[in-house]
Amino acid sequence: MSHPRFPQAVPPEDPNVPVWPRRRVLQTGLTLGSAAWLAGCASLIGQAKPQVVVVGGGWGGLGAVRALAAEQVAAVTLVEPNDRFMSCPMSGHYVAGVGSLDELLHGYQRVEALPGVQRVRARVQAIERDRREVVLDNGQRLRYDHLVLSPGVEYMEESLPGFAAAREALPVGFRAFEHQAVRAQVERFYAQGGTLVMSAPKPPYRCPPAPYERAMLIAEQIKKRGVRGKIVFLDANAAPTPAPTAQPILGALKAYADVIDYRPNVELQAVDAGRRTLQTSAGELRYDHANLVLPMRAQALVRQAGLGQRWAEVELPSFQAKADARIFVIGDAQGSPQPKSGQVAFGQGRAVGEEIARRLRGQSGPAPAGDIELPVGICWAATSHDEAINVNVVTTLSPGEAPKLRFTVDPQPSARSGAAAWSWARGVWRAMLG
Ligand SMILES: Cc1cc2nc3c(=O)[nH]c(=O)nc-3n(C[C@H](O)[C@H](O)[C@H](O)COP(=O)(O)OP(=O)(O)OC[C@H]3O[C@@H](n4cnc5c(N)ncnc54)[C@H](O)[C@@H]3O)c2cc1C
């Protein structure tokens, strides 16, 4: 028997639009725990509200902010440097030249208007755990009772000698606000033709199906526009990852066999952007254009705070940092085996927001015995502008065992999943920012 201790995406009338069972959680809290809840509130009366600082207004951070705002037990400060949110999910269409950037951009106004929430437009430079403060790039310091970190990933540039010196010429486009540079590069490729080298690193990295998706969306345009060029796709893996997606993605790649030269088990070793050559485990390769996806790790901020080496180490199911009980790390920056996906990050954020509220009310107790389901993952690999493969992941935590991941993957692309991907994205964007 599985206990959905954490909010799950409940299929509504459209099974691809997540509905967050917030009302159910709140009602349960008030019914079952009203005495404790009232006592908790009483203990807060007359005191300044506890301070919760949330770092990163992306998928995970917004989940935490929304849950905390609904609970109203803390003053919440969201620290995010960008003036708007830009989605990585669904960006493949825009990057390939067939979608609009506006679809991916959303304002923070509604989040800023939530009760008890303020947004500081700044970047966190350091976390001083002993003082329980974060230091912002504008010199301001914010004190916290609880800190939620969801600053996403950075690229391991040192893994590819020659990359750092040519960073501007080789945009990766796996973080918000990098998509425009990749789109410009892809448009140059359409105009000039030649060889576009693309790559996928070994996992874990953000959204494993995304490099294949991007290649297929560009390949579709090569055919439609009659571009005199081809893609050489270098996969550091033996097949697309995670394993349950390999056959459907390899099957979809066959439709583009004339324009995508898919090469498994090839690792990047060095790049010379001046000579436009790549050293790889399969020898040297010349390119005209390149979109290389590098290995990733948690932002330096998280690692410099002593929360983990490559990824933050967290307790499950709480996502509390192993090194510090006041800090929670969610989304792609944490190192649990959960997939690095936006849907998972948003669910983790909501769960952590609710857990912090429980703790502030003095309600937190031992985790329920038996299996626990962690937030679900819903991912899409578009194989053309109209079709996609749907990937769902359920993570179960059994006492004393490593988390188990159960995948459900479309065996082949369909227009139904292609349309459902957009319904899903619009539904989550609304839940995050609407
Ligand atoms: C091409 C592509 C397709 C994808 N498709 C899907 C999909 O179909 N489904 C899915 O579920 N997921 C998908 N993903 C994955 C998804 O985008 C990530 O898993 C998700 O963004 C992770 O959320 P996060 O909160 O950890 O990080 P992010 O969403 O990246 O948010 C991090 C935020 O922190 C801010 N920040 C960073 N450093 C600091 C700092 N020092 N101080 C303050 N703020 C800071 C950033 O500005 C950013 O807004 C896709 C990703 C890519 C690249």
CA of 350 relative to ligand 1 center, distance in Å: 15
CA 96 to chain centre: 20
pLDDT tens, residue by residue, 136-181? 999 999 999 999 999 999 999 999 999 999 999 999 999 999 999 9
Question: What residue's CA is closest to ligand 1, atom 20?
Answer: 342
In which band, very low, low, confident or very high, does the pLDDT at 365 lie, cut at 50, 70 and 90?
A: low
Average pLDDT, the chain: 90
> In 3D, which of 12, 5, 16 has the Cα closest to residue 428?
16
Question: What residue's CA is closest to ligand 1, atom 53?
Answer: 174
Token digits of residue 69: 């705002």
HSE-CB for 26 with a 13 A CA cutoff: 13
> In 3D, which of 209, 141, 258, 232 has the Cα closest to residue 389?
209
What whole-number distance in Å separates Cα of residue 429 and Cα of residue 85? 10
Identify the pLDDT of residue 14: 36
What whole-number distance in Å separates Cα of residue 425 and Cα of residue 24? 23
Question: Is 311 close to ligand 1, i.e. is its CB under 6 Å away?
Answer: no
Residue 6 has pLDDT above 90, yes or no: no
Q: What percent of the chain has pLDDT over 90?
A: 86
Helix or strand run (H / E) with residue 427: helix 415-433
Identify the pLDDT of residue 99: 85
> In 3D, which of 318, 316, 296, 320 has the Cα closest to residue 307?
320
Identify the pLDDT of residue 254: 98
Sorted by sequence, the CB contacts under 8 Å of residue 387 that are 6+ apart come out as 413, 414, 415, 417, 418
Residue 20 has pLDDT above 60, yes or no: no
What residue spans of 131-257 are helical by DSSP H? 179-192, 210-225, 243-254
Task: Give the type of residue at 32.
Answer: L
Do the Cβ atoms of 215 and 290 come closer than 8 Å? Answer: no
Question: Is 332 close to ligand 1, i.e. is its CB under 6 Å away?
Answer: yes
Residue 11 has pLDDT above 50, yes or no: no
Residue 15 has pLDDT above 50, yes or no: no
pLDDT tens, residue by residue, 91-103? 999 999 998 999 9
> In 3D, which of 268, 293, 290, 292 has the Cα closest to residue 279?
268
Task: Give the type of residue at 65.
Answer: V
Question: Is 296 close to ligand 1, i.e. is its CB under 6 Å away?
Answer: no
Question: Is 173 close to ligand 1, i.e. is its CB under 6 Å away?
Answer: no
Average pLDDT over residues 367-371: 78
Domains of the chain as residue ranges with CATH: 7-152+299-368 (3.50.50.60), 156-296 (3.50.50.60)
Question: Is 211 close to ligand 1, i.e. is its CB under 6 Å away?
Answer: no
∠ Cα 296 301 305 (to 5°) = 115
Q: In what order do the strands lie in the sheet with 289-291?
A: 260-263, 229-235, 194-200, 289-291
Helix 210-225 to helix 179-192 angle, to the nearest 10 degrees? 30
pLDDT tens, residue by residue, 52-87? 999 999 999 999 999 999 999 999 999 999 999 999
> In 3D, which of 10, 27, 30 has the Cα closest to residue 18?
10
Ligand 1 atom with least separation from CA of 82 = 47
Question: Is 59 close to ligand 1, i.e. is its CB under 6 Å away?
Answer: yes
Cα distances from 36 to residues 350, 355, 359, 360, 378, in angstroms, run 21, 15, 11, 11, 35
Helix or strand run (H / E) with residue 9: none
Average pLDDT over residues 359-387: 90
Residue 38 has pLDDT above 80, yes or no: no
Question: Is 299 close to ligand 1, i.e. is its CB under 6 Å away?
Answer: yes
Identify the pLDDT of residue 415: 98
Task: Give the type of residue at 425.
Answer: A
What whole-number distance in Å separates Cα of residue 95 and Cα of residue 86? 13
Q: What is the DSSP string of 201-235?
A: -SSS-S-TTHHHHHHHHHHHHHHHHT-SEEEEEEE
pLDDT tens, residue by residue, 196-232? 999 999 999 999 999 999 999 999 999 999 999 999 9
pLDDT tens, residue by residue, 259-272? 999 999 999 999 99
Do the Cβ atoms of 122 and 105 come closer than 8 Å? Answer: no
Identify the pLDDT of residue 399: 87
Average pLDDT over residues 14-31: 31
Identify the pLDDT of residue 364: 73
> In 3D, which of 351, 377, 388, 41 has the Cα closest to residue 213?
388
Token digits of residue 390: 């749907």
Do the Cβ atoms of 244 and 227 come closer than 8 Å? Answer: no
